[in-house]
Amino acid sequence: MSGHPGPDRGAIARNPDARRRVGTAYAELLAVILASVLGIGGLLLWHLSRRGRLIRDRLGNPRPVRWPEQDDDRDRTEGPQ
């Protein structure tokens, strides 16, 4: 015996029924993990969209802005400098 507790890998490898049960348990564990990650991701997206909507609803209307008149014909839009 190797001194540490755990499954007897040799017995599992020799027994096809045990291998099938271990494989099924492993697949189910991966499915539960995937479903959990997808559920948490969905809740995160829902929360962020809801929070953004609530923040946007609390904001007032945009203020009108008057830009000063310029004599030159340069483009005043923002862009990379």
Angle at 25 between CA 21 and CA 23, to 5 degrees: 55
More confident: 56 or 37: 37
What is the average pLDDT score of the chain?
Answer: 84
Amino acid at 32: V
Number of H helices, E strands in the chain: 2, 0
Q: Which residue has the tokens 């017995």?
A: 11
Q: What is the pLDDT of residue 45?
A: 98
pLDDT digits (tens, 9 = 90+) for 44-69: 999 999 999 999 989 888 788 887 77
Lowest mean pLDDT among 21-25, 38-42, 63-67: 63-67
Global pTM reads 0.57
CA R_g for the chain: 31
Tell me which residue of 16, 17, 20, 18 sits closest to 7, measured CA to CA: 18
